[in-house]
Structure 1
Amino acid sequence: MSKLKSVVLKDLVKTYIGNDGNLFTAVKGINVEINPGEFVTLLGPSGCGKTTTLRMVAGFEIPTDGEIFIGDENVSRQTPDKRDTAMVFQSYALFPHLNIFDNVAYGLKLKKMSKEEIKEKVDSILKLVGLEGLGLRAPNQLSGGQQQRVALARALVMEPAVLLFDEPLSNLDAKLRVYMRNEIRRIQKEIGITSIYVTHDQSEAMSMSDRIIIMNKGNIEQVGTPKEIYEKPATAFIADFIGEANIIDTKIIDKKDKAVTISIGEKEFKLSIDKDFEKDEDVLIVIRPEAVELSDTGNTEVSIKSSIFMGAYQDYLIDIDGVELKIVQYDPQHKKVYNKGQRAYINLDGDIMHLIKK
């Protein structure tokens, strides 16, 4: 079904004139290459430029500067109907006066396909999205999750080269969101279509994506797999935005080859580095809360500032020589629980630390 085309954005810029008459640049010269069949998520806070970028790919916004390629074709100035894309919207945008079959078939009818071909394609796509046998129902007879699947089916039935998602799950409750993101990923893998997905929900991005593009204030801060972005965030913004992180100010005490020495409180640690750092440079250490475990023995003594039972995990705040760290310890039913005011130990070393430039 899929035509397996790439999407390339070259020096893409979008500038608006604000209500005050001043220029506002929403997207600031970004460069992206999305491989054929890849599922890529644009992730970032509100106002970061991710939706504007998606709308430029769809053709709903025309770039102020730069180029957009779908496959080998420059589509930068093409209208949406001329591009080989389809959009799944946040609002579903179903026609209330048409049944499910006719909603999905709408685009095919505009293309003047035969009734037999339309029926074959619509029946096939409804089966793919798990709505087989519901074609005669009205949209208001379906749940929110089912309506979202109709919107997905309507986009897929057109057999686009690129499928675009504009925060499609934000109107669903939390449990249904988890189910639908798994369904969308399953369908995308099954047909192998190139997909660009916009969300501000990090759990959606982490669970669905081949790669994530983190955007902030119109710029791309980092591109990588979910694992790369979580374990090796490029900036303090990413470390704080993705999951939870302890971010500690420190200085490089010494540097030798591909290793540096830093300090936390009174203790010194050696870390391997994959970037250029200099002696005496101010840097930030990132430590994920789940990377540290409390015990009765270890290389670093700590005091427990707070201890809160959260069901699946125990939430701690610990102190190391005046430096506070948040720790999350899973499965507290089978592990020793430490209380506020107690002393404990952790094994703190360079393997659980990630260094970023300040």
Structure 2
Amino acid sequence: MDWNEIKESIVGDLHSRGLKDTEIRLRALNRIENILQLYYASYIRNPEKLNEIDKEVFKRGISVRKGKALSSAEHGVVNEIYERIAPPLLMPVPRKKPLVEGKYKVCICPNCYTPAKVTEDLWDCKELFCPECGNFMPNPIREEKVLESVGRMVVTGILLGNIAKLFCGLFVLFVILYALWGCRGVTETTGCSWRTIAGVCIPVDSVICNDTASCSIPSEKKITLSTEKGNIPREQREKLLGVWADYFNANGEVLWRIVKKEKGLYALEIGRTGTDEWQVSCELIEAPNGGYTVYEAVESVAEEYYRIETSGGLSVFDRYGYITTYRKISTR
């Protein structure tokens, strides 16, 4: 039914009843029609759309537009309209039910300040219709969801930035450790450390002991110098001040000996066990030092000098103090 059919039906029904207040009801019908034409013209064009709005909600909307409560005659007119647009009882129009009880949010209309429930199926709509004042308003729930999404993106960006900083820090730490380990590997491969003894680059420990008596030296394995042709000749042994094994740096594999060249001048030579080859490391000069006779390296950057102990060991010193003591070995 269109609006004219509904209105003619209501007018005819009021006249047929023979009521005393028929004119009052007709005037109420005209007032309702004027409000619909001014504010809800879509319901005039298609009255069946009123089935989508609850009757009591529609009455409150008309009351707001009127500016005061509806009279009993106006209530009766609205009831008459809904009776005529209602579908036949045999074919009821299924009304939308809430998806789940409690699945709604409450928002306030910015025009009439009326709280209204917004069901879950309307949360993604761009605009909402207020049944009280009949105005459309932006959906605050959808805007809230958009803000939450932006907030999550910001938090995710901050988190990813922190993770990137962490990985950068780990990478820098890895580079530093790799560089340190690489330097150590080069030292172990080339056999060169931070200290040189008598101008020869050999692996040494960085520990320095200032007291020869308190420094422990690894247990000595028996080493006897000899050649394939026999023991060291007597004339060579007479020029030797001694031969010592280096347990401090090379576990006894490196040998040191001091050979007298002329008065007051000596040569410090380095060799290895199992071979007869000796290489001059540096020249030494004899010099007194604190009541001891020491042998100072000539042109030594580290200012190294050597002292033969009463036990036969060869103690090594530099500008910083005592380094180690080499064990004396047999030269028969």
Computing the radius of gyration from Cα coordinates, the structure with the larger value is 2
Greater helix proportion: 2
Report the TM-score when normalising by structure 1.
0.21
TM (norm. structure 2) is: 0.22
Structure (1/2) with the larger strand percentage: 1
